[in-house]
Amino acid sequence: METAPPAEHTLRIEMPHRELLDQVLDKWSLSVLSELCERPCRFNELRRAIPTVTQKSLTATLRRLERNGVVERRMVATRPVAVEYRITPLGKTMREPVDALLAWCLTHMPAVERARQVYDDVLDGEADGAR
């Protein structure tokens, strides 16, 4: 007979957790973090590396990641002065859990696709029956 883990070890997703996960695992953050894990980048380098992101979305994403301590913004002493973004030590700690999530997706995507198809087929059948 299995017993539940002690209450202090139970994982609960509270509001601050949800907010943080929403901010660091959103549509663009994973792409930005992936690029910055490889090397520091300037804003336009990130835009070229992620061509589908808009300037506005990239700016908002970088600000959120910086606010959460995952990315840092540094002034580069060049002419003209440039800004460079790099992942912080805290941001680097996200690599392992994000890689685990991506590995889960790779492993389970065929099952997810099948579930989606079954769901869509049921909806289509219900829609056909309602006509």
Rounded CA separation 102/109 (Å): 10
Quick: pLDDT tens for 41-98: 999 999 999 999 999 999 999 999 999 999 999 998 888 888 999 999 999 999 999 8
Q: What is the pTM of this model?
A: 0.77
Of 63, 37, 58, 56, the C-alpha closest to 47 is 58
Quick: pLDDT tens for 91-110: 999 999 989 988 999 999 99
Residue type, 60: A
Going across the sheet that includes 82-87, the strands are 41-42, 82-87, 71-76
